[in-house]
Amino acid sequence: MLQIECISIFDMLKIGVGPSSSHTLGPWRAAERWLAELKRNGLFDQITSVTVNMYGSLSLTGKGHATDYAVMLGLSGADPEYTPIEDIHPLVQYVKDNQTLKLGNEKKIIFDPDVNIIFHRKFLPFHANGLKFEAQLTSGIKKSKTYYSIGGGFVVVEERKNAKKKKDAFNAFPFPVQKGTELLAFCEQEEKKISEIVLENERSLRTDSEIDKEIKRIWDTMLECMYTGCHTEGKLPGGLNVKRRAYDIHKGLKGNLSYENPEEWLMTIRQTEVKFRQILQWVSCFALSVNEVNAALGRVVTAPTNGSAGVIPSVLMYYMVIENHGGTMEHIKQFLLVAGEIGSLFKKGATISAAMGGCQAEIGVSSAMAAGALTELLGGTPEQVLMAAEIAMEHHLGLTCDPIGGLVQIPCIERNSMGAIKAIHAAELALGSDPKEAKVPFDKVVQTMWETAKDMSSKYKETSEGGLAVGVYLSDC
């Protein structure tokens, strides 16, 4: 029987800390998992020292993507979802200043980041983002484990041949899908929208109230993130001297509007008259705000990655403030269900890791997710939803990842506003088209993206060894 992986939308949309899902959230979670495993095996109390080895892209752009911060935080027992943002820098500074780390927030060990975090330039064969944790135990034995951060905050260990698959990870959904055609077949058979099929799948994992609670938490985090980005001025950390632009754009747009919190802000914007140029400005402002917060190690929703975290909230916000002033949590839920499902189809059929596929795997996928979700909310059929996702990806094919200085800032921040605008445009094109006349099916674009990813030089896969990253220098900025 064909094994179809079941990916919840809540695995595609995770709450975490910037700037990168593969280079920050993934390594952070890997550190947590490794400590948990040592605890389960009764070895935690025996640890006297820890070394972390970074490989491939995690090594080449790890400093700019705060991978060193992430592993220190993970080893210190901080949780990326709940640790207050204001505690992050002091926690890392404590380790640096004292060369001491409180492992799992329980026991102190000597840990000098300059010595105990090693950046190897070489790539491990299994995946471009490898990291190996090594512990020295009191017994004299060394324990080590290698993890791979495969994009979007997902972490895996290399599978042994013939290893038993985790039972609930496969074939647990009532409507398991590997491809777009299978999803459309279920929609036709059940006479349901894509969001309804996806909701049935989620119900096999959680109760309705748990689903609604998680959707609300995700939306609250997105809204808070946009609000914070729109109300924070200054420059981003890292040395590129990038000015935060969402603040100025937002200031120009809001004029004399007054409000006290994110909810009031949303209601107030809804009541303003906007022309096309202002729509572009609002959407850009929402997208930039998220990625400026992300670049400053703030809290964002990985969607499907941190580098591309601005596309989905900005397109959803576009729906809420431009398209439907009466939009409710039900609309938000519908949008996120469709977006999450489209993201998982790209993860199953191609990749959501820039280290494997360049920026088409991040901004391209997020734009496709947002385009499809918006299309359903605007009344599109399931076929038009996948057509919109296809159009959005088709015009991101071949997009490279070449962040200057290894920082998730240039071209990343602006690229989110481009991905959002393309998503809205793709939705409009699909809504005005007959999917039967489409020449490029959704599954074909997924496959083409993967083929393009495999052909792409590693210089353009999150290594900062090509493109803008070598054409523009930190000293120029």
Question: Applying CB under 6 A, which residues contact ligand SF4?
Answer: 307-308, 354, 359, 362-363, 401, 403, 408, 411-412, 415, 462
* Least gap, CB of 69 to ligand SF4 (angstroms): 16
* Least gap, CB of 82 to ligand SF4 (angstroms): 25
Question: Residue 247 contacts by C-beta under 8 Å, 6 or more apart in sequence?
Answer: 229, 230, 231, 232, 233
Measured from the CB atom, is 176 or 466 closer to ligand SF4?
A: 466
Measured from the CB atom, is 222 or 401 closer to ligand SF4?
A: 401
* Least gap, CB of 154 to ligand SF4 (angstroms): 15
Measured from the CB atom, is 308 or 452 closer to ligand SF4?
A: 308
How many beta carbons lie within 10 A of that of residue 294, not counting itself?
A: 34
Measured from the CB atom, is 143 or 422 closer to ligand SF4?
A: 422
Structure tokens given for 401: 């990842």
Distance CA 95, CA 113 (A): 8
Residue 144 pairs in a beta bridge with 134
* Least gap, CB of 15 to ligand SF4 (angstroms): 18
Residue 118 pairs in a beta bridge with 53
* Least gap, CB of 30 to ligand SF4 (angstroms): 19
Extract the runs of DSSP E, i.e. beta strands, from 138-274.
142-151, 154-156
Distance CA 67, CA 446 (A): 29
Distance CA 274, CA 281 (A): 10
How many beta carbons lie within 10 A of that of residue 268, not counting itself?
A: 15
Measured from the CB atom, is 331 or 415 closer to ligand SF4?
A: 415
Distance CA 98, CA 90 (A): 12
* Least gap, CB of 1 to ligand SF4 (angstroms): 35
For residue 348, the Cα-to-chain-centroid distance in whole angstroms is: 16
Whether 14 and 289 have beta carbons less than 8 Å apart is answered as no
Q: Output the residue with the shortest Cβ distance to ligand SF4.
A: 307
Measured from the CB atom, is 228 or 400 closer to ligand SF4?
A: 400
